[in-house]
Amino acid sequence: MAPMTRDPRDPKNLIADSYQIDGITAADCRAIFFDWALSLPDGVEAASVAQQLLQIHATENPDHPMTGVLREAVAGTEQPRRRGGRAARVPGAS
């Protein structure tokens, strides 16, 4: 039997395995995601790889806590919009 080939985007299979754990919580998934992100090689952008993993897993698991964590990771990379002038100082001013 040939050894299973691991996805280089998930070398320790942490993300894929999280989808197999019954009753896993969002907090558990965040801890797994953090471990996964720390294991990435230098220079690899976690958000970019998270987007790829989201495309792989979200279709079959749209409501899974890890799907939510991956979505948060991808959304967290969007550049915040700067509000200047009066709009920044006065609530409700646009």
> In the prediction, which pLDDT does 41 show?
87
> Could you tell me the residue range of the domain that residue 60 belongs to?
14-75
The tally of domains found in the chain comes to 1
pLDDT of 67 > 50? The answer is yes
The model's pLDDT over 19-44, given as tens digits with 9 standing for 90+, comes to 999 999 999 999 999 999 999 988 98
| Helical H segments across the chain, by residue range | 14-18, 26-38, 46-57, 65-75, 86-89
Closest CA to 56 of 46, 66, 43: 66
Question: Does the residue 84 lie in any domain?
Answer: no
DSSP 7-25: PTTSTT-HHHHHTT-TT--
Question: Does the residue 70 lie in any domain?
Answer: yes
> In the prediction, which pLDDT does 80 show?
53
Q: Calculate mean pLDDT across residues 47-69.
A: 96
Question: Does the residue 46 lie in any domain?
Answer: yes
3-state SS class at 53: helix
Cα(51)–Cα(61) distance, integer angstroms: 15
Question: Does the residue 22 lie in any domain?
Answer: yes
Question: Does the residue 85 lie in any domain?
Answer: no
Question: Does the residue 58 lie in any domain?
Answer: yes
> In the prediction, which pLDDT does 81 show?
57
How many residues are given for the chain?
Answer: 94
Confidence band, pLDDT 50/70/90 cuts, at residue 2: very low
Question: Does the residue 94 lie in any domain?
Answer: no
